[in-house]
Amino acid sequence: MSNSPLFQPFTLRDLLLPNRIVLAPMTRSRAGTARIPNQLMAEYYVQRSSAGLLITEAATISEEANGWNESPGIYTDEMTDGWKLITKAVHDKGSVIFLQLWHMGRASHSSFHNGKLAVAPSAIKINEEFIHTPTGKQPCEVPRALHTSEIPRVVSDYQQAAERAKAAGFDGVEVHGANGYLVDEFLQSKTNHRSDRYGGSIENRYRFLKEVVEAVVTVWPADRVGVRLSPNGAFNDMGSPDYREQFTFVASQLDQFGLSYLHVIDGLEFGFHKLGEPMMLAEFRKVFHGPLIGNCGYTLETAEKAITDGYADLIAFGRPFISNPDLVERFRNGWALAPVGPMSDWYAPTGEKGYTDYSRHH
């Protein structure tokens, strides 16, 4: 399979990647209650370091951004030091690694914040039965709408997290603008009912993401900053009738920054809002001229086709990488993929079980 387009090197702005396979960011909840990255996590990333680009699981930018049990953060010195273990281990393998920056917005719960409500663009509850919290399953809560005067503070949290990512030795950062978390909540009309300059029009709903990217590119050159979007996603009760206009506009605006890449969850394996035809990479290619990463449900064959057809430059794989740390070698050699283990192991603080205990192909 070595003549496959997936194994051609790719120049990601100023970074030479050995192949076009990306480790997708996946929450794995192995950072402990203190949210400090650790040696076990370093082992996990090293096992998957043959990917051309590694994107870490989402790292919260502040205490306020938390909302997932035992996920890592990037807002204290201890966390920054923990990530240094990981970047050094991955760089020792000659690999490239970006940190994903995360604020969970309304997809959080007061039990993560000493009783204070989660924040969001608007006070609109997730229409789902429950959320996993440090005290077990809890009903979803109505979040508190951020005051206009607070938004610069949140933007500053992204900037400080970007600075810590640089101090921790990462090669770049990805702004998590997908899957119903804070940035996505600002972008979408379903979750953004604001009447200030951050709401109403498509342009105003983009303003928060624009300010976050502007802040992050004061720390990193734009060609080391990526953004992730999920135009088709229903996760966390998302999906807006004007999604096509919104995400076409967002991609066209982001194109002006000269970003490292735009990472689009175009596949439907993670859920689809069914509000129209799904937005595929070909639409994004028309308005975004930098590197494009496709993601979600790709197989070797569909990944090769997306690259051959010119719609994607790189393809991110998530679930196949969970149980196949040597996914790149398996694809290259035509070896069968190991089945993904039970979902109960994916996000569970089970230590190495279902995390680093998958064997390589023999």
Residues noted as catalytic: 181
For residue 60 the two structure tokens come to 């919260």
Q: What is the DSSP code (8-state) at residue 150?
A: G
Angle at 290 between CA 200 and CA 162, to 5 degrees: 70
CA dihedral 98, 181, 320, 1 (to 10 degrees): -50
CA distance 362 to 359: 8
Q: What is the DSSP code (8-state) at residue 145?
A: E
For residue 224 the two structure tokens come to 């080391």
Tell me the Cα Rg of the chain.
19
CA distance 76 to 44: 22
Pairing status of strand 292-295 against strand 136-138: unpaired
CA distance 192 to 51: 36
Sheet strands (E) in the chain: 10-12, 15-17, 21-23, 53-60, 97-102, 119-120, 131-133, 136-138, 144-145, 172-177, 225-229, 261-265, 292-295, 314-317
User: Are 273 and 243 a contacting pair, CB within 8 Å?
Assistant: yes
User: Are 294 and 272 a contacting pair, CB within 8 Å?
Assistant: no
CA distance 209 to 184: 9
Q: Is 56 helix (H, G, I), strand (E, B) or coil?
A: strand
What CA–CA distances, in Å, run from 308 to 167, 257, 264, 289, 313?
37, 26, 18, 17, 9
